[in-house]
C-alpha cells in the first residue's frame, strides 16, 4: 500500500510508540509484506527466523520486536508487537468505510460502460470505458478495472486475502492480516461467472492485458498474471504467484503459493503445480512434470503387473 504522501519516520515512531534506530531522517512511502517489498517501504517482522530476510530485503524500514544491527540507510522501529503496529498503520491509512448504496459516490465509471442491476461497486473503484459488469458482480474498494473488460455474473473482485499471522502462544492462533492492497485488471480482460480474485495483502493482485478466464476460478492475493493468459474452469491459484505471458491453465489446475510459471507454459487439466515451470514447456500431472515425461511414466506404471508376474514367476 502506498501512503498518500511520504511519511517521516519520526512521525511513525511517535504514532506507534516505537524506538527509532538508524536513519532517523527517512521517509516511508508505503507498507508492504516481505514477498512484495520495494525501496521506501515499511515491513514488519516478529520472528527471529525472518529477521535477516527482512533486514536484507528491499524494504528501507523494518518494524521489529528486537534491537539488531541495521545496515546504513535503513532504520528500525522497535515495538513489542510488530503485527499490532502493522494493523494500526493499515487502519489509519486505509480505514474501513461501510457501504451505504450499491454504487459508491466515490467510484469512477468510464464512458459507455454498462453496469447491470444488482452489481455492487465499492469506494474509490475506477472502471474504464466500454466495460460490461454483469448482475451480482461485486467490485470492492480501491480496485482498478481497465477498458473493455467483461465481468460475468456473480464474480467477486477484491475480497480479502486469505492471509493470517500465526502464533501458537495466544488464544486465537490465526490473526487476520488486514488487506490494504488492490486488484488491478488491465484492458481487454474477460472474467467468467462465479470467479473470486483476492486483493493483495499490501500490494496489488494484477490480471494482465488480454487475459481470459472461464467460470469458477480463484486467484489468490498478490498474484500477478501476465498478458494474454487463458485459464479454464475451476483453476485455483494461491497467493503471491508470478505467471508470465501467454500461459494456458486447463480445467482444475491447482497452483501452490509463491512460485513462478514462466511465459508460454501450458498445463494440462487436473495438474498440481508445486514448483517453478520453465518457459514454453507443456506440463501434466501432480506434481506437474513435462507432459512427455509424465506420459511415459504412466505407460510404465500400467506395465507393472505384467513385469511383476515375470519377476515372481
* Torsion angles phi and psi, residue 14, rounded to 5: -65, -40
> Residue 142: which CATH number?
2.160.10.10
Question: What is the structure's pLDDT at 10?
Answer: 95
Cα separation, 226 vs 208, whole angstroms: 5
> Residue 44: which CATH number?
3.40.1390.10
Closest CA to 277 of 294, 252, 260: 260
72 and 124 fall within a common domain: no
The reply to whether omega before 287 is within 30° of 0 (cis) is: yes
Cell numbers linked to 184? 488491478
Residue at a domain's end among 37, 64, 93: 93
Question: What is the structure's pLDDT at 301?
Answer: 83
β 2-8/27-31 pair status: antiparallel
Give the range of the structural domain holding residue 170, as residue numbers without chain letter: 108-296
For 209-250, what is the HEC assignment? CCCEECCCCEECCCCEECCCCEECCCCEECCCCEECCCCEEC
Whether residue 98 is contained in a domain is answered as no
Please write the tens of the pLDDT for every residue from 87-129.
999 999 999 999 999 999 999 999 999 999 999 999 999 999 9
Number of domains composing the chain: 2
Q: Looking at the annotation, which residues are catalytic? A: 221
Whether residue 184 is contained in a domain is answered as yes
Question: What is the structure's pLDDT at 313?
Answer: 65
pLDDT tens for the chain, residues 1 to 313: 999 999 999 999 999 999 999 988 999 999 998 888 899 999 999 888 889 999 999 999 999 999 999 889 899 999 999 999 999 999 999 999 999 999 999 999 999 999 999 999 999 999 999 999 999 999 999 999 999 999 999 999 999 999 998 888 888 899 999 999 999 999 999 999 999 999 999 999 999 999 999 999 999 999 999 999 999 999 999 999 999 999 999 999 999 999 999 999 999 999 999 999 999 999 999 999 999 888 888 888 888 888 888 788 6
Please write the tens of the pLDDT for every residue from 227-260.
999 999 999 999 999 999 999 999 999 999 999 9
58 and 139 fall within a common domain: no
Amino acid at each position: 500500500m502506498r501512503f498518500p504522501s511520504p511519511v517521516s519516520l519520526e512521525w511513525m515512531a511517535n504514532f506507534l510508540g516505537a524506538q527509532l534506530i538508524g536513519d532517523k531522517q527517512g521517509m516511508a512511502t508505503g507498507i508492504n509484506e516481505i514477498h512484495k517489498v520495494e525501496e521506501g517501504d515499511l515491513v514488519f517482522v516478529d520472528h527471529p527466523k525472518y529477521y535477516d530476510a527482512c533486514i536484507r530485503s528491499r524494504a528501507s524500514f523494518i518494524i521489529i520486536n528486537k534491537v539488531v544491527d541495521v545496515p546504513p540507510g535503513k532504520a528500525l522501529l522497535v515495538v513489542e508487537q510488530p503485527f499490532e503496529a502493522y494493523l494500526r498503520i493499515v487502519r489509519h491509512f486505509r480505514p474501513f468505510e461501510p457501504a451505504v448504496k450499491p454504487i459508491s459516490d466515490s467510484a469512477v465509471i468510464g464512458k459507455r460502460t454498462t453496469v447491470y442491476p444488482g452489481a455492487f461497486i465499492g469506494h474509490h473503484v475506477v472502471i474504464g470505458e466500454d466495460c460490461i459488469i454483469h448482475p451480482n458482480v461485486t467490485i470492492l474498494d480501491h480496485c482498478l478495472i481497465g477498458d473493455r473488460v467483461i465481468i460475468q455474473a456473480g464474480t467477486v473482485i477484491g475480497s480479502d486475502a486469505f492471509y493470517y499471522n500465526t502464533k501458537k502462544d495466544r488464544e486465537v492462533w490465526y490473526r487476520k492480516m488486514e488487506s490494504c492492497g488492490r486488484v488491478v485488471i488491465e484492458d481487454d480482460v474477460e472474467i467468467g461467472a462465479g470467479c473470486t480474485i483476492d486483493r493483495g495483502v499490501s500490494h496489488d493482485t494484477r490480471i494482465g492485458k488480454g487475459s481470459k478466464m472461464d467460470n469458477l476460478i480463484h486467484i489468490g492475493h498478490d498474484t500477478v498474471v501476465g498478458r494474454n493468459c487463458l485459464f479454464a474452469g475451476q483453476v485455483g491459484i494461491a497467493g503471491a504467484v508470478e505467471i508470465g505471458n501467454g500461459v494456458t491453465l486447463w480445467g482444475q489446475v491447482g497452483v501452490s503459493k509463491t512460485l513462478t510459471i514462466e511465459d508460454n507454459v501450458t498445463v494440462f487439466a487436473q495438474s498440481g503445480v508445486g514448483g517453478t515451470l520453465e518457459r514454453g514447456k507443456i506440463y501434466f500431472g501432480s506434481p506437474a512434470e513435462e507432459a512427455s515425461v509424465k506420459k511415459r511414466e504412466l505407460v510404465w506404471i500400467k506395465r507393472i503387473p505384467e513385469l511383476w508376474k515375470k519377476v515372481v514367476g
